[in-house]
Every structure is written in C-alpha cells, then in structure tokens.
Structure 1
Amino acid sequence: MSVTAQDTGGGQGTGGRLSGPGGPFAAAGTPRGAVGAALWAAAALFVVLMLLVIVRLPWAGDLGMHAATVERLRHRLLDPGNPLVDENTPSPYYSPWTVFLGVLARLTGLSVWVVLRIGALIGLTLLVTGVWRYVRALTAHRLAPPLALLCVVLLWGTQVFNWSGFLGLNSLALTVAYPSVLALGLAFHFWALLTRALKGGSAGWTVCLGLGALWAVILLSHQFTGVVATLGALATVVGARAGRGEWLRLGAGVLLGVLVLALWPYYDFFALFRVGGLEVIHRPLYQHLFPRFCLVLVGVAALALRARRDLRDPLVVFFLLGVLMFAAGGLTGHYSWGRALPAVLIPAQVAAAVEVAGAARGTLRNAGAWVLAAALGVGAWTQVQTVGYVVGRSALPAPVAAKYRVPWVGYHWITPWVRYGDVVMATTYPARQIPAYGAYTVAPGYPDFFLPDEAKREAAVRTYFTARSSRSERLGVLRTYGVRWVVQRRADGGLPPGDRALRRVASGPGGQVLYEVVR
C-alpha cells in the first residue's frame, strides 16, 4: 500500500519544533517561543471557558427535546414512547448516546439537568481529544493540535451562526449537551483511528469491524454528523490509496455498521431516507454564506497549497466531497443536504492549522501565520459574547453586552404543580421546553416525522388558541387530548382567564399563566 505523504517532524533538526524566527506561532525554545506558549494557553482557556459554560448550561434551541428524551428513557427504558406527546411512537432521538444517559439517570437518580451536564462534559472531552488525535494523525508538529482546536471554534465568519453540528464557539456553547457534539467528537476519533490504521498498515479485520461499529453509533446518535463522518472517512481511504485487501476489510466494517443500523430497536434508521419536509427548515443554511463563514477562506488557501502537493490529500478530498454535497443540495432544492456544510468547514479549518504549524521558514510561512492569527482574532471578537453565558450580561463591557443574547428562561416554575406524564396545552415556543420537565404537550414543538397525527395535533392547538373558535370547540380539544394544564399569555388567545373551565394556579415570566383545567 502506498500512502499520501504526511507532515512529519517540525523543521530541520528541531525535534518537532518549528524552525525559524518568524511568525506568531513560533514554538517554545525559539526567539518567539513565548507566543507558542500563549497558543497552548489559549487552547486551555477555551477548554476552561467551555467547562464553565457546562456548569451554567445555557438553554436555547433543542435542549428541551434532549432533556425530554432522557426523561422518557429514565421512566421506560425499553419502550419510552414519543418524547414530546403522549403517544407510543418511535423517535430518532433515542440513540445509543441518549439511551446511555437514560440508563445513567435511572441508576443514579440524578436530575435530567445534572445528567445532561455529565453528557456535555463527556462530549466536550471527546471533541477536544478527537481534534487532537486527528491532527496528530496528520502531522507531528506539536503546535498543530492546539492551533487546530482554536481554528475549529474561531475560524468562522464575522456573523455568529448557531446550529447543532456546527462548532463555532457560540454555537458550541449552546449545543454542548446535544448529541451532535458527542457525534462530532466520535467522528474526529473515527477519522484519527482510520488514518493511523491505513497509514501504519494495521487496518486488520478487528480494527475495520470496530470502525464499522463506531460509524454506526455516530449515524444513530446524530444522522447529519454521520453523513459528515462518512465523507471524511471516504476521503481518508481515497487519500491513503488503500489496496484491495484493505477495501475488502473496510467493506466488511461497513456491512457490520449497516447491520447495527438495521437492528437498532428504538427507531427505523432507514425510514429516515423517506422523510420529507426538512427543506424549509434548512434553507437558511444557504443564506448569508460570506459573513457567516468568510474566515474559513484562510483554510481554503491552505487546502490549495496541499492540493498542489497532492490532489488526493485527505483534507482536500474531504473538502471537495463536502462542497459537492452542499452545492448539490442548493442546486436541487434539497436544502437539508446543507447539513453537510461541516464537511466543507472542518477540513479547511484543520488545514489552516496544519499548514501554518508545518510551514518551512521564510516569508511565506510568516505571512500565513500572521494572516491566520488575524483571522482568529476577528473570530474571537465575533464570538466574544459567549463569555456572557458564564458571567451574565451585567458583567460584560457594553460593546460585548450588545452582542449577547440571553438564553431561554425555562419552565421550572410550573413543576410544583405539573407532574410527569401530565398533558399541557401550549403554543410552539413553550412546547419546546415543557416536555423537558416530564410533561407532554398536545402538539410537538419540533417536527416529528414518526408521529402519524402530527398535523391533526397542530390543528387542534390552532383551534384552541385562535380567536375564531367557540368555547365548545376549545373544550372539545381539551377533552380529546386529556389536557390537564394550560400555559398561555393573554395575547395567545384560548379560553379567557375568567372561564369556569380554568383555575389560575401560577404566574411565570413574560406574562405567562399556568391554568388547571377544571373537570
């Protein structure tokens, strides 16, 4: 087997250190070694910041869905039913990772929020160590891993972009407890293991079967990240110029992975290929590309340098596969394919770090290092409001506070009355949070393609809250779905506050009121 030439060593006679005096990323022991030490300190500061974020665990987006999933598994591990509504349906959120967290919650009795923090800590650990191991599999330069870690979280754009599966610093802070972070951490380890196995000639049957099982776990845990992991693995195999025997063993690993996917008992993985209705949700992925991702162009330039040396470089192939899938999604209107965008971003970000860390002495190396340093500085300023998730808005300087967005408050205020399994009538925004505390809502706050009566439930919620509905129609909805509680604002509509069918129980933020349905 022949392999792609890999970066090795760190300059002539340096024992892995960068040679030459120039550039802001010179290693310790060189005239600019203090800057190299600062690079390590910056990577450590990122880890500390994320640990403090996990302590606070800011809530936005899908965190309530994942909390609800763990709660259902805690109570009914083998048959948890729908995580959001009172129906016995499968759900793609029941993955190997959430099952593990459900077992942890069941065995320890810890609250779902403590369990999610533990999960976030595990996910962050796997992500940091995964980036480290993957970069070390590509190059021996000792500054490349911390630099790559900073590139992955800061080398984005001048406009903050938050989405699960995307590792910008602010996005990571909001999604650190999501399965997508765990899946990305596993993906980096997956690529590292595959790279080392192919490079070292150790891709035997056991290793390939193990990689196949790991691939299946990633796909089951976060399907979109599984696609990114697949593209990265394909690029690694192409770049390594695998021989016939290795393709055979890797094929066996793929078959094992497919078998694991087929046998997973909590949902039908392959049914996801028949799911529609995701395009509107994902269309924003194709908007404002330059302000969101312009700093990644530094990495694209690094990839161009690598392509000049070897068109089958694994990072180059990975990037091209990501570009093809992302572009195909935009051209055909399959906007959900835009979730493959990390397959464009990650190889460029990693390439920027590897190229700067491994460049030879001279003007080109110095210029590249300073350009990357400036881009990282811009990226850090763009996402500096992330610190607010630790210290709060009041502690932020005015320019930073203006960028900060307060996380969701949550619905802990209803828990003294609303019990596990109770059904709550609510609009979409509270319906995305209330199930995190064990209750169900009439309609799911998120699209649920395994729920056959989803449209009927959404229509029922509209019937209850619309001004055109009669009192009898609203009462009929409450009876049909066994609603015990209603959360509403005066502006939401629904039964008026003085209606005899409702008893006011508690008040919450933003004028929300919890009513008990009087039967």
Structure 2
Amino acid sequence: MPYSGSGSVSLDGGARARRRPRGALGATALRGGRTWLTRRPSPYVVLGGLFWVVLTLAYWRVSPCCDSGRYAAVIERLRWDLWHPAHPTADLPGAGSPAYSPYAVVQGVVARLTGLSGWALVELAGPLNLLVLLTGVGRFVRVLTPRPWAPVLALLFMTLLWGTERIVWSGHLGLMSMTTTLGHPSTFAIGLTFWAWAWTGARARGGGLSRGVRYVGPSGLGSAWAYAGLGALYGLIVLTHQVTAVAAAAGAVALVAAWQRGWWGPVVGRWALTGAVALAVAVAWPYHGVPAPAGGAGGDGTHRLLYTGMVGHLWLALLGLPALWARARRSPRDPLVLMFGAQCLVAAYGWVGGHYAYGGVLGLAAVPAQVALAVELAAPRPWGRGRRVLGAVAAAGVCVGFLTVQAGAVVPRSLDPVGFEQPPRPPAYAWAARHVGAGEVLLTDGYVAERALPGYGVNMAAPPWPDPALDEAARRRRYADVGAYLDPAATRAERTEIARRYGVRWLLLTRWRAVPEEAVVVDWNPRSGEVLARIAP
C-alpha cells in the first residue's frame, strides 16, 4: 500500500485499514505508546556509535602517513587557487588531475573559509567519512534483512575478518587499515558505495530506502527522480575514487540482476537514466575528465602488491564462503553471490591483463562473504548443527584477526599487555616546512619525506605518486635526474644543471647522504638525522 505521508496505517481485525488522526500522536505518547521519541535505539545505533567514538580516537592518536600527504597537498593547492589548482606535488599545471574531485574541492573551500591547513582537514575528515561509512553499511544490510543484529555482525566481520598479515591500504576496511586511511577520499567513496547499493537494491525490489515506503508521484515522476538521483550518486563515486567506482558498478549490476523483475520498457528506461546521469555527472566535472582506475601507468606496479600478498591479507574473509554457498543453493540469483562473483571477475581481469590497479577492488570483494556470514548468523534460533559450527568458526576467526593484526589499531601502547603491532607512525616534517616557502621545490632521498612534505605546500622535484597531469614517462625521467643528482660521482656542474632544470632550491637528505658543497645546512632533525639544506644561488 503506498504511504501518503499523513498519519500511520494500522490493521483492524486483519480486514480493515484505517488512519490514525494526527492529534492522536500525543495521546499515544501519554499512554506509553512507542513513538520516535520513545522508540528504543537499535543495537547497531548503539554499538555503531560506540565504534565511531573508539575508531575516531584511534585515528586521531596516530600520525597521518602514507597517502595522507597527497590529500593534504591537494587541499593546499586548492587553497591557493580554487579554479585552476597546480599539480598536487610538483611545480606544474594541475589540469586533468583526478585528485581534484568534488570531495577535494569542498575541502578546499573549507580551507579557504576557515584558514585550516590541509593536514588539519584530513584529520577532521576521518570521523565524517566514518559516519558516512557506518550509516551506509547499516542501510545496505537492512535492505538484505530486517534482523536487527545483522548490521552489528557485518561491521564486526568487515573490520576483523581479513588476514593475518598487516595491510594498510585504501579500500580495506580492517581496523588497522582504517585507523590510517579514515581521512582519505576512498573511505568516503566506500561509504557512498554502500548507500548506492542500498538504494539500488531497494529500487530493484520495487521499494524505497525506508521499509514499507514507496516513491509516489504523478506519472511516475517521483520514481524517475529517484533513479536520476541514484545516477548522480554513482557519478560522485566515479569522481571521488575511481577504483572504488569500478567495484560499485560491479555491485550495482549484481543487485539489479538479482532482484529486478519484469524487464519491460519503463524499467529499462529508468536504469538507463541512472547510467546516463552517472556518466553525465562524471563527464561534466570541470576539473578533469573520467580518469582510468589506475590513475596513470605508474599505479600498476604499486598495486601489484595487492595480488602477491592477497592470501595473507584476505584469507580470514573466506570463512564467509559457506554462507555464500548456502545462499547460492537457495537461489543462484542471490545478490551477495552475484556481487561476489562480479568483484572477483574484476580482480581477475586486473591480474590476467596486467592492470594491477584493479586489485583495489579486492577490499570490497571480501564484503559479500562477510555480510553473508553476518546475515546467516543473525537468523533467529533454533540453530542447526551447521550454523553452530559456522558460528564457532566465525568467532575463532574474529579472535585470530583481532589478536594477530587488528588489535594494535585500537589498543594504545600504554594499555597493551601483549605488545600488539601498532599502526605506522611516520615522523612529522613541520620542522622542515617552516623554512621552505609554499610552492618552492625540494629534492630528497627520503621515502617518507617525499610523501609528507607536499602536504605542507612544498613541491617535489620528482612527484612520488603517478598523476595524469604529468606524463608517466616524464615523471620517471625526473626520478632518474634525482638519482643522478644524488650520485656521489656527480659533479657540481651536473648537479647545478639538474637543480636549474626543475627549479630546486632545497635539499632534505637522510643521515647517510653527504651534503653537496653548494648547499648550506639550515636545520636538522636530531631524532632521524635528516638535514635540510638550501642550495646557494
């Protein structure tokens, strides 16, 4: 029955439906009836809220690392010029860089309005991205089942059932990985993906996001707007994080194939509208076109690690395969089964074709198995022998995952009686950035330094990340020139030519590297032994 939005629907003797008058709401509340003011929160609201607090505090206690410098650098470039930002990490134009997504532009606007630094906004983005992720997971699981404990178990399995080897990578939802990557655009994109899947599944089943509510409107107008809005959401995912968008599209196709019934003209037209709007949003974005998921040819080499370490990083997620198998026996068109197959096909394509950047979907490929396990174990009792065994194995897997890899993410070292492995804690480079002017070019031999300093507004002679705004061959030539500059056999004239070619004015060298004769030491870090030197004009 379509719900018109006024009053509520009750059944009288199972034969007659009547609406309660609007004025009856207060009387019901006075009599002790349940309203939105008195309704008990679901287990997921309570435990998910507690999880949000714990993980936010864990994220804030860890120093930003890895790709955080890149995202802070993007915000800094947008602060300088919102409409024509420079290359995120080099003294070059930034036209065509997929780093300038709607997500990043909003952060750039906030930076310009508030004066907050790029690093500060990456820190503040963590709890906001986590909120989008948690609400998306809850909504997606509720589309699959109304069991109240299913989202709680899904969250438990998605954060602990991974592997027994540590991985810190965008797109992986393990505690250790999220403690480091909460502030990254990938986390926001994954949260939007769960919302998009929930919306897609609800539309394919013929309903809206809320249980028992259908979209109504003249001549199906409300339904058309819903499909268009869904397309805009997928377009936003494409612009925010391209590898996640590939996984989102594969999951969407699986959900529609599983649940859509009756492929007549209007149905095909509505899903075509979703795809057309998604494409239009992605193409119309003024900062860049639709980029390849790899983000440049140089991304494949880095992402190859996702395949070579796949077993150690993911084997605990395979504990959900029996639950997927049970769902497949009940229905070969089960959405989680089809979604798992689609994600695995994308990952296999990346491996066979040598496009290793598609290995980024492996993090979301584990989700169908983890969610299937949660839905199976959330079923009401009595449990059969098979379900009891499955529950015991899942509990053992949770303990193994937590104790071997994930515990250090949320257990501070001061409260750790065992010595869990902690998240990476790279050194900060504010001591060097206070000497280097914004936009000046620096050359370094430090792996961590070249990834952190761009977040302070410093440009690198050799950009550490591939980006379509700079041809990959040119980026490799820059790295070769940096190596030639640092070669002990290089002459002063050769070093001067390389420095002039890229406008290098600063050097940051590790303790093992001698300072060239033409450079003057300005500062040093007694903890790491790194030296900051200025090249004499």
Bin of the TM-score, shorter chain as denominator length: 0.7 to 0.9
**Residues 415 and 437, structure 1, Cα contact 8 Å, conserved in 2:** yes
> Bigger CA drift: 268-277 or 471-480?
268-277
Residue type at the aligned position of 1:375: G
The verdict on how the C-alpha distance between 1:191 and 1:155 changes in structure 2, with shifts beyond 3 A counting, is same
The verdict on how the C-alpha distance between 1:480 and 1:329 changes in structure 2, with shifts beyond 3 A counting, is closer
Are 2:520 and 1:514 equivalent residues in the alignment? no
Are 2:487 and 1:466 equivalent residues in the alignment? yes
Are 2:405 and 1:379 equivalent residues in the alignment? no
Q: When the two structures are superposed, what TM-score results if normalisation uses the length of structure 2? A: 0.84
- Deviations 1:382-415 (Å, cap 9, x if unpaired)? 2101125xx3x35432432xx2254111211113
**Residues 158 and 292, structure 1, Cα contact 8 Å, conserved in 2:** yes
The verdict on how the C-alpha distance between 1:135 and 1:488 changes in structure 2, with shifts beyond 3 A counting, is same
- Deviations 1:129-182 (Å, cap 9, x if unpaired)? 100010011100000111111111111122222211111110111100000000
Q: Secondary structure in 1 aligned to 2:528? A: helix
Residue type at the aligned position of 2:254: A
Q: Secondary structure in 2 aligned to 1:255? A: helix
The verdict on how the C-alpha distance between 1:441 and 1:111 changes in structure 2, with shifts beyond 3 A counting, is same
Alpha-carbon distance in structure 2 between the residues aligned to 1:232 and 1:281:
25
1:504 to 490, 501, 521: 521
**TM superposition shift of 1:333:** 2.8
Q: 2:310 aligns to what?
A: 289
Residue type at the aligned position of 1:366: R
Report 1:366-445 matches (<5 A).
366-382=388-404, 383-387=406-410, 391=412, 393-400=413-420, 403-427=421-445, 429=447, 430-445=449-464
- Deviations 1:403-439 (Å, cap 9, x if unpaired)? 2254111211113211211111112511111110011
Q: Secondary structure in 2 aligned to 1:381? A: helix
Alpha-carbon distance in structure 1 between the residues aligned to 2:380 and 2:311:
27
Runs of at least 5 residues in structure 1 that lack an aligned partner in the other structure: 1-36
Q: 1:96 aligns to what?
A: 102
**TM superposition shift of 1:269:** 1.6
The verdict on how the C-alpha distance between 1:77 and 1:207 changes in structure 2, with shifts beyond 3 A counting, is same
**TM superposition shift of 1:261:** 1.3
Residue type at the aligned position of 2:68: L
**Residues 486 and 515, structure 1, Cα contact 8 Å, conserved in 2:** yes
> Bigger CA drift: 325-334 or 150-159?
325-334
Q: 1:7 aligns to what?
A: none
**TM superposition shift of 1:45:** 4.4
**TM superposition shift of 1:459:** 2.2
Percent of aligned pairs with the same residue?
37
Alpha-carbon distance in structure 1 between the residues aligned to 2:519 and 2:509:
12
Alpha-carbon distance in structure 2 between the residues aligned to 1:286 and 1:351:
24
- Deviations 1:253-289 (Å, cap 9, x if unpaired)? 2111111111211122246689434332222212243
Instruction: Quote the RMSD (CA, aligned, Å).
Output: 2.1
Q: Secondary structure in 2 aligned to 1:515? A: strand
- Deviations 1:216-256 (Å, cap 9, x if unpaired)? 11011010000111111111101112433222111112111
**Residues 48 and 152, structure 2, Cα contact 8 Å, conserved in 1:** yes
Alpha-carbon distance in structure 1 between the residues aligned to 2:75 and 2:492:
37
Residue type at the aligned position of 1:124: L
Alpha-carbon distance in structure 1 between the residues aligned to 2:452 and 2:353:
34
**Residues 172 and 364, structure 2, Cα contact 8 Å, conserved in 1:** no
Alpha-carbon distance in structure 2 between the residues aligned to 1:205 and 1:48:
38
Residue type at the aligned position of 2:53: V
**TM superposition shift of 1:191:** 0.6
Alpha-carbon distance in structure 2 between the residues aligned to 1:89 and 1:447:
13
Alpha-carbon distance in structure 2 between the residues aligned to 1:274 and 1:280:
12
Residue type at the aligned position of 2:484: T
**Residues 444 and 507, structure 2, Cα contact 8 Å, conserved in 1:** yes
Residue type at the aligned position of 1:85: A
Report the count of equivalent residues. 474
**TM superposition shift of 1:367:** 2.6
Alpha-carbon distance in structure 1 between the residues aligned to 2:425 and 2:46:
28
Runs of at least 5 residues in structure 2 that lack an aligned partner in the other structure: 1-41, 208-213, 216-222
**TM superposition shift of 1:39:** 8.8
Q: Secondary structure in 1 aligned to 2:390? A: helix
**Residues 327 and 337, structure 2, Cα contact 8 Å, conserved in 1:** yes
**TM superposition shift of 1:38:** 9.4
Q: Secondary structure in 2 aligned to 1:188? A: helix
Q: Secondary structure in 1 aligned to 2:504? A: coil
Residue type at the aligned position of 1:129: T
**Residues 137 and 191, structure 2, Cα contact 8 Å, conserved in 1:** yes
**TM superposition shift of 1:492:** 3.2
Are 2:201 and 1:184 equivalent residues in the alignment? no
**TM superposition shift of 1:118:** 2.3
The verdict on how the C-alpha distance between 1:95 and 1:476 changes in structure 2, with shifts beyond 3 A counting, is same
> Bigger CA drift: 202-211 or 312-321?
202-211
Are 2:228 and 1:209 equivalent residues in the alignment? yes
Are 2:252 and 1:233 equivalent residues in the alignment? yes
Q: 1:492 aligns to what?
A: 513
Q: 2:37 aligns to what?
A: none
Which structure has the larger Rg? 2
Alpha-carbon distance in structure 1 between the residues aligned to 2:253 and 2:45:
31
The verdict on how the C-alpha distance between 1:219 and 1:305 changes in structure 2, with shifts beyond 3 A counting, is same
- Deviations 1:365-394 (Å, cap 9, x if unpaired)? 333222222221222212101125xx3x35
Q: 1:456 aligns to what?
A: 477
Q: Secondary structure in 1 aligned to 2:225? A: helix
Q: 1:72 aligns to what?
A: 77
Q: When the two structures are superposed, what TM-score results if normalisation uses the length of structure 1? A: 0.86
Report 1:86-485 matches (<5 A).
86-90=91-95, 91-201=97-207, 204-242=223-261, 243-244=263-264, 245-270=266-291, 275-358=296-379, 360-363=381-384, 364-382=386-404, 383-387=406-410, 391=412, 393-400=413-420, 403-427=421-445, 429=447, 430-452=449-471, 453-485=474-506
**Residues 67 and 116, structure 1, Cα contact 8 Å, conserved in 2:** yes
Alpha-carbon distance in structure 1 between the residues aligned to 2:326 and 2:292:
42
**TM superposition shift of 1:338:** 1.6
The verdict on how the C-alpha distance between 1:156 and 1:272 changes in structure 2, with shifts beyond 3 A counting, is closer
Are 2:80 and 1:84 equivalent residues in the alignment? no
**TM superposition shift of 1:350:** 0.8
The verdict on how the C-alpha distance between 1:394 and 1:477 changes in structure 2, with shifts beyond 3 A counting, is farther
Residue type at the aligned position of 2:419: P
- Deviations 1:91-148 (Å, cap 9, x if unpaired)? 1111110111111111111222221222112110000010001001110000011111
Residue type at the aligned position of 1:330: W
The verdict on how the C-alpha distance between 1:71 and 1:274 changes in structure 2, with shifts beyond 3 A counting, is closer
Alpha-carbon distance in structure 2 between the residues aligned to 1:209 and 1:168:
33
**TM superposition shift of 1:290:** 2.9
Alpha-carbon distance in structure 2 between the residues aligned to 1:215 and 1:349:
23
